[in-house]
Amino acid sequence: MFDLDLWREIFQSINMNRTRSLLSGFTVAFAILLFAILFGIANGLQNTFQEAFGTDANNSIIIYPGRTTKANKGLQVGRRIQFKNEDREFIKDTYGDKVQFITSKVNKSVTASFKGEKNDYQLRGIYPEFMFIENNVVKEGRYINQNDINNKAKVVVIGKKVEEELFFKETAIGKYINLSGIQYKVVGVFTDDEGDSEESIIYIPISTIQRVYGNNDLVDFMHLTFNPEMSSAQALAFGMSLENKLKERFDVASSDQRAIRIRNMAQGTQKVDMMTASLSVIILVIGFGTLIAGIVGISNIMIFIVKERTKEIGIRKALGASPRSIVSIILIESIIITAIAGYVGLLVGMGVLELATPVLKDYFIKDPGVSNSLVAGATITLIIAGAIAGYLPAKKASQIKPIVALRDD
Amino acid sequence: MLEIRQLHKSYPIGDSSLHVLKGIDLSVKEGEMVAIMGSSGSGKSTLLNIIGMLDEADQGDYILDGLPIKNLTEKKAAIYRNKFLGFIFQSFNLINYKSALENVALPLYYQGMKRKERLELAMFHLEKVGLADWAKHLPKELSGGQKQRVAIARALAADPKLLLADEPTGALDTKTSHEIMEFIQHLNDEGKTILMVTHEEDIAAMCKRNVRLRDGIIIEDKMVEQVRAQLYV
């Protein structure tokens, strides 16, 4: 039911008492302003955390071999653990779809040259799956593919930084790059939003690197991502199991901490999740606290307004206003003031965040912002808040006895 | 029109209570113009408030136009007040942020009349009290006499059966008082039933019937020869 006359009455009353309405709105506007800024900063902190962990798949696990520190099954201390190609197959077969992507890696340092330019880079022998584990984005050309692996093709995919340093303005695709005396065809250029160091890398099919550097099937370490549907607890358990299985496979004592090491991102993710969750709780508590303070403020002023308007309400009642129409007037007035003031606060808060973004970046707060869903949520909250703030005063107003209100004193 | 039998009312004051009305019997016929008189504390305002449904009696019957007024809910009382009664107050009681026209239209708003209709009707009543030119003015821009005339127009707007006036000339000078009284007399001539509380003898003399209260009982109830206010203007 939309009663135009009721709204006319309300806007007339708000308009006639502009200062009063403004003052009562101020508390709420301020509360929402604070809330928006706090929320934005918290968001920014969260973004920073996320960035710190990069866009590397945060479900990744890296397995490093080392030397044994404990004698086991008649084997000596100090034995070096060496992974081979078959270990990748072993993990794939053992864990099935718990493993999303898996690659073995062989790392070398090389001097790369093209025409007169020369520089040292890391060369990584990998499987095509590595693209998804590392979240590399192909900028031009293609990534290493299975054909390259099968054919031990002499092809490389270079980082954007490598292209910039060796090829200047030229396009690198199709050119031959010299790595420690052997020519490789550049088939792709990739980017990685983790920055320069991750873009100063040259990828090569693992089969090629194994052939060229020693003609063996040895592997430096393995890198995998677990099924992202696993909870962090499941992921941690998976990491433990993986470690135990590999220790068994390589006859390593289960208490040996150095022979096979596993770096499970789930550990970090869990911590970050906990931290951001507690941050959200703190922000919500502060936000609600300020909002409640705002509601109390509005409520107070509305009570004062009712007191001030006692006579007017008495007159209205004498002229035939029903208690309900009195309640509507006060309640809707309160809701309107709260909602408008709240929105102003929200807009100002968003504006402040927008302006402060470049400054805040220096304080580890990235892209602070307020989401659309929050704005929608805030709208509903504000209307409810206005209703709560107006309820008591409205109730009080409806109970005013005209005879008391009209007494001449 | 109006029938009151054995009406009692007392107000609690601390532990004891003050017995204000001690058995009032009053009957008013249509078209009468009655002045309720008495010194302050005699209970005349309380009686008017009960008649105006702004207050409720403790005991006794009050029948207005055949309707028993008893145990009304606030909502019902609001509807009855709107339909049956028009109020004129000593201090005018206009809403200060509404124009004269909007003030007059307010009872019609509470009747649920459409805006255009009620503004037209309100304008008609403002014309009747001679203030059509002042329709857009706020109460603070009007003189006392003009304010009271706006209040009368407002009281008449809903076409009530009974007009209740509480010291309608109490805040006005003699000349303006007589103007207002002339107007009220004119309404009575047209057939409106009017009940007025006053403590001024000359104003009471301009009514057709005087009811005198003292200490909560009627001590005198007589018809009087109406003095026309016109003579003084």
Residue B9: count of CB within 10 angstroms of its CB? 22
Of A16, A321, A406, the CB nearest to B78: A321
Examine the domain organization and report whether A39 and A182 are in the same domain: no
**Residues of chain A positioned with their CB less than 8 A from the CB of B87:** 318-319
A315 lies in a domain? yes
What is the arithmetic mean of pLDDT over A14-42?
Answer: 79
Q: Is residue A261 part of a domain?
A: no
Same domain, yes or no: A145 and A239: yes
Residues A245, A107 share a domain: yes
Residue A256 has what pLDDT? 83
Q: Does one domain contain both A86 and A46?
A: no
pLDDT tens track for A299-336: 888 888 888 888 888 899 889 888 888 888 888 888 88
**Domain-located, residue A21:** yes
Question: In angstroms, what separates the C-alpha of A12 from chain B's closest C-alpha?
Answer: 8
Same domain for A27 and A122, yes or no, is no
Residues of chain A with C-beta less than 8 angstroms from the C-beta of B158 = 320
Q: Is the pLDDT of residue B233 over 70?
A: no
Measured CA to CA, the distance from residue A250 to residue B65 in angstroms comes to 107
Contact call for B97 and A323, based on CB within 8 A: no
A182 in a structural domain = yes
Residues A89 and A164 both lie in one domain? yes
Indicate whether A45 and A123 sit together in one domain. no
Residues B187, B155 contacting (CB under 8 angstroms): no
Average pLDDT over residues B215-220: 92
% of residues, chain A, pLDDT over 70: 93
User: What is the per-residue pLDDT across B67-82, written as a single tens digit (0 to 9) for each?
Assistant: 899 888 888 888 999 9
Report if residue A74 sits inside a domain: no
Distance of alpha carbon A384 from alpha carbon A378, whole angstroms: 10
- Residue B101, both tokens: 């026209």
Contact B29, B1 (CB under 8 A): yes
**Mean pLDDT taken over chain B:** 91
Same-domain check for residues A40 and A90: no
- A214/A313: higher pLDDT: A313
Instruction: Say what the pLDDT of residue A1 is.
Output: 41
Domain annotation covers residue A75: no
Nearest to B74 among A9, A312, A323 (CB): A323
Q: Indicate the residue of B93, B107, B115 with minimum beta-carbon distance to A320.
A: B107
Question: Which among A15, A319, A324, A333 is the top mutation candidate for probing chain B, defined by the most B β-carbons within 10 Å of its own β-carbon?
Answer: A319
**Is residue A3 over pLDDT 90?**
no
Q: Which residues in chain A are closer than 8 Å to B74, comparing Cβ atoms? A: 322-323, 398
Residue B13 contacts by C-beta under 8 Å, 6 or more apart in sequence? none
Identity of the residue in B55, B83, B93 whose CB atom sits nearest the CB atom of A315 = B93
How big is chain A, counted in residues?
A: 409
Q: Which domains does chain B have, with CATH numbers?
A: 31-53+73-232 (3.40.50.300)
What is the residue range of A196's domain? 82-249
- Enumerate the residues of chain A whose CB falls inside 8 A of the CB of residue B159: none
A275 and A395 in a common domain:
yes
pLDDT category of residue B146 using cuts at 50, 70 and 90: very high
Q: Select from A190, A217, A249 the last residue of a domain.
A: A249
The tally of domains found in chain A comes to 2
Cross-chain residue pair B93–A318, CB shorter than 8 Å: yes
A400 and A298, same structural domain? Answer: yes
Which residues of A lie inside 8 Å of B (Cβ-Cβ)? 4-5, 8-9, 12-13, 16-17, 311-312, 314-325, 398, 401-403, 406, 408
pLDDT given for residue B88 in this prediction: 92
> Is the per-residue pLDDT at A2 higher than 60?
no
Report if residue A262 sits inside a domain. Answer: no
**Largest CA-CA distance found in chain B, in angstroms, rounded:** 54
**Which run of H or E residues covers position B202?**
helix B201-204
CA distance B204 to B197: 9
Is residue A37 domain-shared with residue A117, that is, in the same domain? no
Q: CA–CA distance from B101 to each of A168, A317, B115, B187 (Å)?
A: 83, 19, 12, 20
Asked whether residue A347 falls in the same domain as residue A207, the answer is: no
Q: Is the residue at A101 inside a domain?
A: yes
Residue range B186-197: average pLDDT? Answer: 93
Closest Cα in chain B, distance from residue A400 (Å): 11
